[in-house]
Amino acid sequence: MRTLVILTLLAASVIAATCYESHESMESHEYLNPFLNRRRANDFMQADTRLRAITQERIRERSKAHHEHQRELCEDYYPCEMYAFRHGYAAAYKHYFGRRRTK
């Protein structure tokens, strides 16, 4: 009978030692509400900044400035390019392609 009481007290002390909730676990907000809000579910994830930079670069390539299109057109035509070396691309474009307007 004495061994049964000792084993019962020993088992109760082991259960008390292993099932004790510390003060740190009570401070956690997950203890009260373990589920996340849908809006906050992906807060810890951050978008890949490299992917965003590549996307912005592709958008810039599609929407070039007007003078950039003129410069590329002038670079493709050799006499215009030679004229541009002396007088600049704006003057060269105006000289070679400025008069090409059709009515």
**Each residue of 17-56: pLDDT tens digit?**
777 666 565 555 555 666 777 777 666 666 677 777 778 8
- The model's pTM: 0.39
Q: CA 70 to CA 39: how far, in whole Å?
A: 47
Tokens of 43: 């807060």
Query: Where does 19-88 have alpha helices with state H?
Result: 23-27, 29-32, 49-62, 66-76, 78-87
**Each residue of 50-97: pLDDT tens digit?**
777 778 877 776 777 888 888 888 888 999 999 999 999 989 999 998
Q: Which amino acid is at 60?
A: R
Q: CA 22 to CA 31: how far, in whole Å?
A: 12
Q: CA 82 to CA 18: how far, in whole Å?
A: 86
Burial class (CB in 10 A: 0-12, 13-18, 19+), 77: middle
* C-alpha dihedral, 40 to 43 to 45 to 47, nearest 10°: 110
